[in-house]
Structure 1
């Protein structure tokens, strides 16, 4: 039986180490973003392989593989690459551990603010050692939301145009952060009430999704299905506003 509390502590150290590498490379930046992505991933995969040798990997850069193992690491070595290129926060390292059916732990290290968000199944959610919880905002009118714009703009345009039309001027404010993992963590910490994005990879949302759920929030796919871990269209909220956002995307759903 794995001790997820102890395992999460070790993963936090790995995420911070990778984040320090990103910070150093950013200071010496010379248009080698693909190099930075791959080197960060190589470092994380190497450390995690030593930590849990029996686990497989799902990685953004494809430096390791998943072959049906009981446990699987899901890694984004640099989430928010465009922000990183332009020296704009946030960007982060995202690491999750999952089984074949559920998320087990998640760690997200935001480099610019030196913030480490983490959670393990049944263990609550934390930011730099302090427990965090989603907000208690219950009215859409008072909500602060995040609506990302994925690369599949032609397929997603009808959906996001409708969502913006229905929300713009009717909520407190809307932001685009440029990092799915960080947007999820901000929901978990109560800084935002909700987030949604389509056409994203497992490495983008796995760690952050568990952190939201352990912080008391709700995560589903765009159909409202809570078995979302192999999906690509994700909504995360403080729970109170989930049905409101879900109903919007159901009116004009993206192509699946």
Structure 2
């Protein structure tokens, strides 16, 4: 099947699963939430959504494997692998806060070739496929043209279980609070990245992330003209556990700020 067709079929499936999550949110029973680690929540909605995604994506591309948060499938594809977060922002979902998403990327060999993030509450589908510009609900998007950090809005994610770099992190936040339009923390990395892609944020950074948190959103940022890296500037951000994503005009400035405060490990 041709890549654009695979991409469009995946969007249809993701929207169907998004409707399932939206319906479940209306009568969600928080008593059924599991704690898989400190502040690490998972619900039956996460698991069922992932099951539906794995089954559907497996039908679209039978030879594909999966890197999925809840471990529904451990199949590894020789060429194609889907990287899936069935509900990015589970803590928001559990508490009834309306920022959570489905994040799905398709990796061909070692390259992401398709990325889809569906923000469920606003019904916003951010997506990109190799060779094309990123889109939001079918319309082309691009990163912010703002050239000044002082006029920029920055997003991040607060540490929730690994606090060994807390002082460095707070130093970065302090600087940004004093030298930008402010810092936001929505609770879904995939949404944060998508908002960089469409220019709502100028930049986003976070650490202690997994591939399923960032793969789709980072690709969408890149296809929208943005830059993405780890805190040390290299490109291993999908599996590198940390990410900086922003418009090209503030990338070097924001990277320098992070590096000046962060105890980088080379």
> Are 2:231 and 2:264, in contact at CA under 8 Å, matched by a contact in 1?
no
User: What are the within-5 Å matches in structure 2 for residues 65-104 of structure 1?
Assistant: 65-67=74-76, 69-104=78-113
Task: Could you list the structure 1 runs, at least 4 aligned residues long, displaced by more than 4 angstroms after superposition.
Answer: none
Task: Give the whole-Å Cα distance in 2 for the aligned partners of 1:254 and 1:201.
Answer: 20
Per-residue deviation, residues 101-134 of structure 1 (Å, max 9, x unmatched): 2111001111100111100112110010100110
Task: Give the whole-Å Cα distance in 2 for the aligned partners of 1:150 and 1:75.
Answer: 22
> Are 2:6 and 2:61, in contact at CA under 8 Å, matched by a contact in 1?
no
> Are 1:94 and 1:181, in contact at CA under 8 Å, matched by a contact in 2?
yes
Task: Give the whole-Å Cα distance in 1 for the aligned partners of 2:200 and 2:129.
Answer: 21
Task: Give the whole-Å Cα distance in 2 for the aligned partners of 1:228 and 1:83.
Answer: 24
2:112 is the alignment partner of 1:112: no
- Which range is displaced more, 41-50 or 225-234? 225-234
> Are 1:155 and 1:255, in contact at CA under 8 Å, matched by a contact in 2?
no
Q: Which residue of 2 aligns with 1:13?
A: 12
Work out the number of aligned pairs and report it. Answer: 255
Q: Which residue of 2 aligns with 1:205?
A: 214
Q: CA deviation at 1:15?
A: 1.0
TM-score (normalizing by structure 1): 0.95
> Are 1:221 and 1:231, in contact at CA under 8 Å, matched by a contact in 2?
yes
SS in structure 2 at match of 1:103: strand
Q: CA deviation at 1:164?
A: 1.0
User: What are the within-5 Å matches in structure 2 for residues 174-253 of structure 1?
Assistant: 174-253=183-262
Cα RMSD, aligned residues only: 1.5
1:143 to 143, 146, 152: 152
Task: Give the whole-Å Cα distance in 1 for the aligned partners of 2:136 and 2:24.
Answer: 25
Q: CA deviation at 1:248?
A: 2.1
Q: CA deviation at 1:243?
A: 1.1
Q: CA deviation at 1:66?
A: 4.4
2:57 is the alignment partner of 1:48: yes
Per-residue deviation, residues 1-29 of structure 1 (Å, max 9, x unmatched): x5222211111111111111111111111
Q: Which residue of 1 aligns with 2:178?
A: 169
- Answer 1 or 2: higher relative contact order, Cα 8 Å, separation at least 6: 1
For structure 2, the 5+ residue unaligned runs are 34-42
Task: Give the whole-Å Cα distance in 2 for the aligned partners of 1:52 and 1:72.
Answer: 9
Per-residue deviation, residues 137-171 of structure 1 (Å, max 9, x unmatched): 01010001102113244223022111012111210
Cα pair distance change 1:254/1:21, threshold 3 Å: farther
Q: Which residue of 2 aligns with 1:156?
A: 165
